[in-house]
Amino acid sequence: MQRAELTQVESQLLSDLFAIVEEHAGESAMEVDREQVERAFVFSCEHHADQRRKSGEDFIVHPVGVAKICAGMRLDTETLCAALLHDTVEDTSASLEEVEENFGEEIAGLVDGVTKLTGITFSSRDEAQAENYRKMMVAMASDIRVILIKLADRLHNMRTIEALPKQKQIEKAKETLDIYGPIAHRLGIHAIKWELEDLAFSTLHPRKYKEIKGLVNQQREERERYVTKAGDYLLKELEALGIEAGIAGRAKHFYSIYSKMTKKSREFNEIYDLTAMRVIVDSVKDCYGAVGVIHSLWKPLPGRFKDFVAMPKFNMYQSLHTTVIGPEGRPLEIQIRTREMHDMAEYGVAAHWLYKEATKDASPTRTPTSCAGSTACSTGSRTCRTRRSTWRTSRSTCSRTRSSCSPPRARSRTCPPGRPRWTSPTRSTPTSATAAWAQRSTARSCRCTTSSSRATSSRC
C-alpha cells in the first residue's frame, strides 16, 4: 500500500499527526523523519485494515491517537513509529521479526516492550497480569521510551473508555489510578498524570466528579479575575526591576481536589489553591529575585515557602512555591520556575528530548539511549525505590502471583585509607512480587565498616 492508496479517513489521520509534529518541530532537539513515520503508518493500516474498535470506528484511529500524544511530548522518530506499530504484533498477523525487518532493531525492541505476553499459559488472570507488568518494567529499565508509549496508549484508551462495558470501565479506571498514574508521577510527566487521574475519577465516581466540577465552575470567573489582577500588578513590579516573566493561572485538577478533601478531611470551601499563579522567568537567579519581589508586595504565610529548586523532588520537579496574603486579603499560591523547569514539570523524563546539548564537545542532540542513562544516573539510588513504590501501588493480586525478579548484585567499592567502605549485604532470590520488592528495600541498606575493630551500621 502506498500513500495514494490510503482512504480519505486514513489520509486525514496522517495529516493530523504530521500537523502536531510540525507544531512542535521548533521545540524538539531531533527532527522527525516523516518518510519513516509514513511507512509505519501504512504498515499499521495494512494490518489493521479489517479491525474495528468497540466504538465502531476504524482500529487505526487508536495507534494514530497514541502517536499524536507522543508527538505532543516532542518524542523522536523511533518512538512515533513504535506508537503506530504497538498493536500490530499483539492484535494482527504481523510478527516481531517482520517489524524488525522493515523498521530496524530499535523500533522492534520498543514494540516488543509494549506488547503483552502471548502464547504462554498462566494459572490465573492475575498471574498473567503481573507477568505483563513485570515485562513492561524490565523493558522500561532498558529504554524509558517503552513506558512513554504505554502511558500514551493508556491515556488514549481512557479518553475513549465509554465504549467499553461498565465493569470493564471500572477495572481499567482502577488500574489507571493504581499503576499508570503513579508511574507518570514518578517519571514527572504531570501533563499525562493529571488527565489520567481525572478520567479515571470520572469513571469510578461520576456523581462526585460532577459535584466537584460544578463547585469549581461556580466561581471560576471570579478566581480567574482575581489571579489576573494580581498577576498584572506583579508583572509591572518585575519589569521595573528588569526581570522578564510570563504569568498565567494554574487551575487545580478535579481528582487532586477530591484527594485533598478525602485525605485531609476538608470541605470544598477550605481549599484555597483551586487557582494558583505561575510565574515563568529566564534564569534561576530571576526565580529567587521574583520571590523577593512577591514577598515585598504581599505578606507570606508562615511555613508555606518551599524551595524545590535547590532541593528537587524525586521525579526531578523543580520550582519555588510560596503562599501569600494577596490582594483583597485572600490567600494566593504562587509557583516560580524557569522555562526548562516548567517543561520538566509537564513532561518529566520526556523533556530530555526538547533540548540540544549546549557544549561543543557534546553530541548535538540527546539520543534516547543517553537520555535514559542520564535519567538513571540523576536519580541514582532512587531507582530501586521508584520501582518498589510503583509495585506497592499495584493491586494486591499482583503480590500473590509467582512472578519474581532479582535485585542488583552486591558490590563493594575500594575507598582510600581512613574512609569507610560500603558493601551490600547478600541476598536470596525472592519467590513472590512482594518479597522481591521487600528484598530491594534491604538491598539499599549498606554496612559501613572502618579499619578499627569496632564496626557501625547505618542506612544508605
- Annotated catalytic sites, by residue? 90-91
At a CB cut-off of 8 Å and minimum separation 6, what does 251 contact?
216, 220, 274, 275
Q: Measure the CA–CA gap between 36 and 85, rounded to whole angstroms.
A: 12
Where helices occur in 143-265 by DSSP H, the ranges are 145-159, 166-175, 181-186, 190-204, 206-218, 220-240, 254-263
The alpha carbon of 81 is separated from its chain's Cα centroid by a whole number of angstroms, namely: 20
Using an 8 Å Cβ cutoff, are 152 and 66 in contact? yes
Backbone φ and ψ of 71, nearest 5°? -65, -35
- Count of beta carbons in the 10 Å neighbourhood of residue 128: 17
- Taking the alpha carbons at both ends of the chain, their separation in whole angstroms is 58
Judged by DSSP in three states, 7 sits in coil
Where helices occur in 24-123 by DSSP H, the ranges are 34-47, 61-72, 77-85, 88-91, 96-103, 105-114
Sheet harboring 421-423: ordered strands across?
Answer: 421-423, 445-449, 456-459
Q: Measure the CA–CA gap between 67 and 20, rounded to whole angstroms.
A: 10
How far, CA to CA in Å, does 72 sit from each of 25, 183, 430?
10, 19, 40
Whose cell is 520571590? That residue is 291
Using an 8 Å Cβ cutoff, are 437 and 407 in contact? no
Backbone φ and ψ of 248, nearest 5°? -145, 165
C-alpha cell at 447: 554496612
Q: Measure the CA–CA gap between 414 and 404, rounded to whole angstroms.
A: 31
Q: Measure the CA–CA gap between 445 and 225, rounded to whole angstroms.
A: 52
Beta bridge partners of 307: 320
Closest CA relative to residue 158, chosen from 169, 166, 147, 148: 169
